[in-house]
């Protein structure tokens, strides 16, 4: 037992999750306790679903994107979410969400213009855990589905009107009516 005590007392570091931390040893020969002087590492993840948003070109309806992620190890923590878009009208939104007790977080985001959005999640660290961050890109593009549907409807109306106009004239001529009578 005395050999173990001397060996532990000579240690100046401790390994936690594969990382070496400075440590101080306190013991009375029978009870051993390590007091870590470093911070524990954290790992942050961030995801977006769907991975691409769309803005309808005609009615300006947009896709709602859910931003979610987690911090490891799982604990309740404030996570800063920064959403920024590039370009001339680039905007940045920063908000803070709080993780659940198992370290998970989620929020919604609606793109306001087309372009690439940078999403960054960051944990500032605290007296026990190191800071960490994660990021990803989300593309918002125009959706032409409504415009195409409206153009198809207009095309159908124009073709139907043209067809009706042609068949009506031919029918009037067949019974000997002058098409100028339609104008008056």
pLDDT at residue number 100: 95
User: What predicted TM-score, i.e. pTM, was given to this entire model?
Assistant: 0.60
Q: CA 160 to CA 162: how far, in whole Å?
A: 5
pLDDT given at position 32: 46
Q: Nearest CA to 110 among 66, 79, 145, 68? A: 66
| Domains, the chain | 2-36 (no CATH), 43-143 (2.60.40.1940), 145-183 (no CATH)
Give, for all 184 residues of the chain, the pLDDT tens digit.
344 444 545 556 656 656 666 665 555 444 444 555 578 889 999 999 888 887 777 676 678 889 999 999 999 999 999 988 876 666 778 899 999 999 999 999 888 888 888 899 999 999 889 999 999 998 888 777 767 777 777 777 777 766 666 666 655 565 555 555 555 4
């Amino acid at each position: 037992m005395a050999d173990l005590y001397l060996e532990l007392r000579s240690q100046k570091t401790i390994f936690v999750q594969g990382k070496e931390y400075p440590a101080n040893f306190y013991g009375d020969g029978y009870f051993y306790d390590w007091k870590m002087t470093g911070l524990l590492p954290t790992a942050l993840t961030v995801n977006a679903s769907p991975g691409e948003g769309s803005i309808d070109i005609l009615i300006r309806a947009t896709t709602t994107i859910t931003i979610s992620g987690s911090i490891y190890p799982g604990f309740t923590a404030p996570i800063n979410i920064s959403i920024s878009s590039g370009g001339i009208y680039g905007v940045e939104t920063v908000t803070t969400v709080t993780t659940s007790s198992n370290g998970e977080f989620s929020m919604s985001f609606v793109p306001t213009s087309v372009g690439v959005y940078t999403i960054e999640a960051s944990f500032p660290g605290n007296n026990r855990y190191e800071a960490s961050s994660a990021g990803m890109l989300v593309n918002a593009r125009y959706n032409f589905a409504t415009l195409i549907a409206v153009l198809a409807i207009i095309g159908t109306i124009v073709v139907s009107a043209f067809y009706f106009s042609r068949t009506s004239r031919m029918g009037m001529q067949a019974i000997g009516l002058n098409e100028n009578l339609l104008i008056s």
